[in-house]
Amino acid sequence: MKISIENETKLIEDILKAYDVKDNEAKIVADVITDGDLKGFSTHGIGRFPQYIDSINKGTILTEGDYEIEKETAATALINGNHKFGHYVTVKAMDLAVKKASEIGVGIVGIHDSNHYGIAGYYSDMASIQDMIGIVISNTEPAMAPFGGKKALLGTNPITISIPSDDIKTYICVDMATSITARGTLLQAKRKNEQIPEGLALDKDGKPTTDPAEGLEGSILPFGGFKGYALAFMFELLAGPLVGAEVGENVRGTATSSEMCTKGDLLIVIDPEHFAGSMQFKFFVDQFIREIREENGVIPGDREVENIRNNKENGINIDSALYDQLTDIAQKKGMDIQSYFEE
């Protein structure tokens, strides 16, 4: 079963509105979720949507109220998400960080009590399309054991960095977990009743496993051994206690819908115009890109460019299990989703 990018966005937005999500929030959430599928991050696309609806039903994502700015200076802000959709809160937070960076060179915004926000690169891209550098760091529910340990105490703790460029064929973004794979990879494999490759996860006894359910109960391995773990450790603190969010075992609500989300996010925007200058910065960025291309090297973001082209042309594949979930979600609000899909 396939769905076009446009129809996926409309489907998500229409369902959210049926579940009493405000129009402006529904549009933002739909855009971010679809962007995940568009760029090939299917684990953070529409496949996550049933979890979000379940969170609404259980009251762990709130459709009423709004986020609030608790503290603010010229360069910084601290936002209480008040358990709204993470996509919505983070878009608003990045808008604020970009505004501050444009005025004084840097904008740093922390978020607590928000929710899972889908694809992190969407938010750093909000800065790069305005000729700024965007950085997003988050912590998540424990999924990774400390280096040398067995018990999961750290999240997959992603980081994304987007860099502006005048090369119209190039998109520069690294969007990655500090674990060797995202938790969503295991969740997707479990939903499809598939095994995961060796070397991704350990069971609860610290033994290697290819069973995604065992990996979810145990821990996901860090990328790059100790170095990946060390980055995850630092990001846990920067995206947790620094912004008034939880840390370690007390981080909840990113993997399941049954508990209020207690993770945190740190957004950093840098405006090159306040440093060497935007034109000079992009000149040397593009010069470096040419040097990499001459060596047949890959630019972080090349895979996403290819995925965008392919998915715009061919649409997004929806497996039968997910289609059934979406059908059930929609039918509960009297909606028929068949017209959104193509056979």
pLDDT digits (tens, 9 = 90+) for 125-182: 999 999 999 999 999 999 999 998 888 999 999 999 999 999 988 999 999 999 998 8
Of the pLDDT bands very low, low, confident and very high (cuts 50, 70, 90), residue 188 is confident
Q: Quick check: 343 pLDDT over 70?
A: no
Give the pLDDT score at 187: 86
Give the pLDDT score at 184: 82
Give the pLDDT score at 192: 87
Contact 271, 106 (CB under 8 A): yes
Residue position matching structure tokens 């095994």: 195
187 vs 170, residue with greater confidence: 170
Name the nearest CA neighbour of 16 among 98, 66, 105, 88: 88
Give the pLDDT score at 41: 93
For the chain, first and last CA: distance in Å?
Answer: 5
User: What type of residue is 60?
Assistant: T
Q: Which domains does the chain have, with CATH numbers?
A: 1-58+301-343 (1.10.1530.10), 65-179+222-299 (3.30.1370.60)
- Distance, in Å, from the CA atom of 23 to the CA atom of 120, rounded to the nearest integer, reads 22
pLDDT digits (tens, 9 = 90+) for 262-291: 999 999 999 999 999 999 999 999 999 999
pLDDT digits (tens, 9 = 90+) for 52-77: 999 999 999 999 999 999 999 999 99
Q: Which two tokens stand for residue 308?
A: 């965008």
Rounded to the nearest 5 percent, the helix, strand and coil shares of the chain are: 45, 15, 40
Contact 255, 141 (CB under 8 A): yes
Who contacts 148 (Cβ-Cβ below 8 Å, separation ≥6)? none
Contact 84, 25 (CB under 8 A): yes
C-alpha distances in angstroms, 104 versus 76, 199, 203, 271?
11, 45, 48, 8
- Distance, in Å, from the CA atom of 23 to the CA atom of 205, rounded to the nearest integer, reads 46
pLDDT digits (tens, 9 = 90+) for 228-242: 999 999 999 999 999
pLDDT digits (tens, 9 = 90+) for 15-45: 999 999 999 999 999 999 999 999 999 989 9
Average pLDDT over residues 314-326: 95
Count helices and strands (H / E) in the chain: 11, 12
Give the pLDDT score at 308: 97
Give the pLDDT score at 256: 82
Q: Which two tokens stand for residue 188?
A: 């997707």
pLDDT digits (tens, 9 = 90+) for 204-214: 998 999 999 99
Give the pLDDT score at 290: 97
User: What type of residue is 188?
Assistant: Q
- Distance, in Å, from the CA atom of 234 to the CA atom of 93, rounded to the nearest integer, reads 22
Of the pLDDT bands very low, low, confident and very high (cuts 50, 70, 90), residue 78 is very high
Name the nearest CA neighbour of 214 among 224, 200, 226, 228: 200
Q: Quick check: 342 pLDDT over 80?
A: no
pLDDT digits (tens, 9 = 90+) for 322-335: 999 999 999 999 99
Give the pLDDT score at 43: 87
